[in-house]
């Protein structure tokens, strides 16, 4: 029965020394370590650590936030460990799921963490609304003016290569395509997703959850199962990642398509106002 440790810090500049020392003092036989943000889904060492664990082993970490990027993710890992019959130990919070008390404490802390996240989110939204009311603008400043975009579009129509336009205006090639033909590309993307589905499940698409998790959630939601597919979910995520959410919502709001009802347009309008 192996005692396996996992240590993580968010950036290259931070040190793992304190966590490693605690894990070694506890008696870990093997320690997986990495320097990567907790919100990143692709954590190679964490995946290797979870695959390495066998029945009867113990997974040891120093704090809960070193392991999971959200309460949902933490619950997933906990279930995975339970299925493998692996005990879970958190040193700083004094949790040991090999004992009834430890299991109870773990579940309580997970619930409290979820509650704190919701409170923090609510306060953040209140702060954003207050800042907006004072005229504060959020988001990155546009690199190009409307006149420059128009000029770039004309140059492209005249035959100038996209890579040359990107170099001239100091932007990436995908940005050139988005700016000179973004609305048309977005219209095609939205058609492949389904405007109704995109709006009704916008919050899932815009969340931090891995694509696979979103697929499973949406496939099981009432009213989506008939039209859902992995391709549609991936396309919807792509729209969000490209930073085109407001454009997407505008297209839905102004759409004359029979599937886009007034109710859907109303939902899209509310989402846009709160974003």
User: Domain spans of the chain?
Assistant: 3-112, 146-274
Model confidence at 27, pLDDT cuts 50, 70, 90, reads very high
* CATH number corresponding to 3-112: 3.40.50.1390
For residue 77, count CB atoms less than 10 angstroms from its CB and return exposed for 0-12, middle for 13-18, buried for 19 or more: middle
Q: Say if pTM beats, i.e. exceeds, 0.75.
A: no
Res 184 pLDDT > 60: no
Q: Kindly list the catalytic residues.
A: 10
The confidence score (pLDDT) of residue 89 equals 93
Res 97 pLDDT > 60: yes
Res 74 pLDDT > 60: yes
The confidence score (pLDDT) of residue 53 equals 94
For residue 136, count CB atoms less than 10 angstroms from its CB and return exposed for 0-12, middle for 13-18, buried for 19 or more: exposed
Specify the higher pLDDT residue, 191 or 226.
191
**84: Cβ–Cβ under 8 A, 6 or more apart, which residues?**
53, 54, 55, 57
CA distance 207 to 104: 29
Model confidence at 242, pLDDT cuts 50, 70, 90, reads low
Model confidence at 244, pLDDT cuts 50, 70, 90, reads low
**% of the chain with per-residue pLDDT over 90:** 18
Average pLDDT of the segment spanning 94-117 = 76
Model confidence at 114, pLDDT cuts 50, 70, 90, reads low
CB 249 within 8 A of CB 271: yes
CB 193 within 8 A of CB 251: no
Q: How high is the mean pLDDT of the chain?
A: 79
The confidence score (pLDDT) of residue 233 equals 77
The confidence score (pLDDT) of residue 49 equals 94
Out of 84-88, 89-93, 178-182, least confident range: 178-182
Specify the higher pLDDT residue, 31 or 129.
31
CB 85 within 8 A of CB 55: yes
Average pLDDT of the segment spanning 199-222 = 76
CA distance 94 to 106: 9
Model confidence at 25, pLDDT cuts 50, 70, 90, reads very high
CA distance 207 to 240: 9
């Amino acid at each position: 029965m192996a005692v396996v440790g996992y240590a993580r810090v968010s950036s290259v500049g931070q040190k793992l020394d304190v966590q490693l020392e605690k894990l070694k003092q506890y008696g870990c036989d093997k320690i997986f370590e990495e320097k990567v943000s907790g919100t990143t889904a692709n954590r190679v060492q964490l995946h290797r650590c979870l695959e390495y664990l066998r029945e009867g082993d113990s997974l040891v970490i120093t704090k809960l936030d070193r392991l999971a990027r959200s309460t949902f993710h933490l619950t997933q890992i906990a279930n995975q460990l339970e299925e493998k019959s692996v005990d879970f130990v958190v040193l700083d919070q004094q949790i040991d799921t090999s004992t009834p008390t430890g299991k109870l404490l773990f579940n309580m802390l997970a619930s409290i963490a979820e509650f704190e996240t919701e409170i923090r989110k609510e306060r953040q939204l209140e702060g954003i609304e207050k800042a907006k009311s004072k005229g504060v603008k959020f988001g990155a400043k546009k690199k190009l003016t409307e006149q420059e975009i128009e000029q770039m579009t004309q140059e492209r129509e005249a035959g100038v290569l996209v890579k040359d336009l990107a170099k001239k205006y100091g932007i990436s090639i995908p940005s050139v395509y988005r700016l000179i033909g973004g609305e048309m590309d977005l219209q095609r993307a939205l058609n492949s997703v389904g405007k109704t589905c995109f709006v009704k499940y916008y919050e899932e698409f815009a969340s931090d959850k891995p694509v696979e998790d979103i697929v499973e959630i949406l496939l099981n939601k009432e009213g989506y199962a008939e039209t859902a597919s992995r391709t549609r979910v991936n396309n919807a995520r792509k729209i969000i990642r490209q930073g085109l959410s407001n454009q997407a919502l505008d297209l839905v709001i102004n759409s004359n398509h029979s599937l886009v009802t007034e109710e859907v347009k109303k939902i899209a309008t509310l989402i846009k106002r709160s974003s």
